[in-house]
């Protein structure tokens, strides 16, 4: 299923033009979470370009990205794959009841050393 309208919306949210990608794969060569991802950074770019969004929206890969920006740093075409992934993630969690992380889950995840930062940032990334 191709949905170009959503794709363009994602381009707007991310500020990324996926057509700048020259399919070199450096982002995926760089990605530290690659092995845990179903769709890899270059696929995110290419699937948004061609409007194959639905699979992405359903994929756990959205929450596997470590936001380390290595792909952004090393992309020779200035494409910023991490921004694309974030945009898809936002699109996923923005509708009601689509939060990936719920406050109720927190107590069991806590340990005594866990810094606030870990919880705050997880909420920022996975919940709206």
Partner 1 sequence: MVYSYYPGCTLKTKAKDLDKGARRAAEALGIVMEELPEWQCCGGVYPMGKDEIATKLSSVRALVAAKEKKQDLLTLCSACHHVLKRVNNDMATNEDIRNKANAYMELEEPYAGETRVIHYLEMLRDVVGFDKLKEAVTNPLTGRKIGAYYGCLLLRPSKTLQFDNPENPTIIEDFIRAIGAEPVVYAYRNECCGGYVTLENKDLARSKVANIVESAKEGGAECLITACPLCMYNLSNNNAAGDLPVYYFTELLCEALGLDKEGN
Partner 2 sequence: MQRIGVFVCWCGSNIAATVDVNAVTETLAKEPGVVYATNYQYMCSESGQNLIKDAIRDQKLTGVVICSCSPRMHEATFRKAAASAGLNPYLVEIANIREQCSWIHKNKEEATEKAIILGRTAIAKVQLNAPLIAGESPVVKRALVIGGGIAGIQTALDIAEAGFEVDIVEKKPTVGGKMTQIDKTFPTLDCSACILTPKMVEVAQNDNIKIYSYSEVEAVKGFVGNFTVSIRKKARYVKEDICTGCGLCTEKCPQKNVPNEFNLGLDTRRAIYIPFAQAVPKVATIDPNYCTKLNTGKCGVCEKICTAGAIDYTQKDEIVEQQYGAIVVATGYNPIKLDNFEEYAYSQSPDVVTSLEFERLMNAAGPTGGVLLRPSDKTHPHTIVFVQCVGSRDVSGCGKPYCSKICCMYTAKHAMLCREKYPDTEVYVFYIDVRTPGKNFDEFYRRAVEEYNVHYIKGMVGKVAPSGGKLKVQASDLLNNEQLHIDADMVVLAAAIEPDKSARPLATMLTASMDTNDFFTEAHPKLRPVESPTAGIYLSGCCQGPKDIPETVSQASACAAKVIGLLAKDKLTCNPCVAHSDELMCNGCSSCANVCPYGAITYVEKEFRQPDRTMLVRRVASVNPAVCQGCGACTVACPSGAMDLFGFSNKQIMAEVDAICK
| Positions in the binding site for partner 1 (CB under 8 A) | 12-15, 32-33, 36, 63-64, 66-70, 72-73, 80, 82-83, 86-87, 90, 101, 109, 111, 113-122, 124-126
Collapsed DSSP state (helix, strand, coil) of residue 69 = coil
List the one residue from 14, 42, 45, 63 that touches partner 2 (CB under 8 A): 42
Residue 4 interacts, among partner 1, partner 2, none and using kind-specific CB cut-offs from 5 to 8 Å, with: none
Query: Burial level of 5, CB count in 10 A (0-12/13-18/19+)?
Result: exposed
Cα–Cα distance for residue pair 60/100, rounded to 1 Å: 10
51 makes contact with partner 2 (CB under 8 A): no
Instruction: Choose among 85, 60, 80: nearest CA to 20.
Output: 80
List the one residue from 40, 44, 65, 89 that touches partner 2 (CB under 8 A): 40
Cα–Cα distance for residue pair 85/71, rounded to 1 Å: 11
List the one residue from 20, 124, 127, 128 that touches partner 2 (CB under 8 A): 20
Minimum distance from CB of 64 to partner 2 (Å)?
13
Residues 72-91 that bind partner 2 (CB under 8 A): 73-78
Instruction: Give, in order, the Cα–Cα distances in Å from 8 to each of 22, 81, 111, 127.
Output: 19, 15, 41, 23
């Amino acid at each position: 299923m191709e949905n170009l309208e959503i794709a363009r919306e994602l381009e707007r949210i991310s500020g990324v033009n996926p057509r700048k990608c020259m399919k070199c794969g450096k982002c995926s060569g760089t990605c530290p979470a690659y092995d845990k991802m179903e769709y890899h950074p270059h696929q995110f770019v290419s699937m948004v370009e061609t409007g194959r969004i639905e699979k992405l929206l359903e994929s756990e890969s959205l929450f596997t990205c470590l936001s380390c920006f290595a792909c952004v740093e090393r992309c020779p075409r200035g494409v910023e794959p991490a921004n694309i992934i974030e945009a898809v993630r936002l699109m996923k969690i923005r509708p009601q009841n689509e939060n990936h992380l719920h406050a109720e889950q927190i107590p069991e995840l806590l340990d005594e050393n866990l810094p606030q930062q870990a919880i705050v940032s997880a909420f920022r990334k996975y919940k709206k």
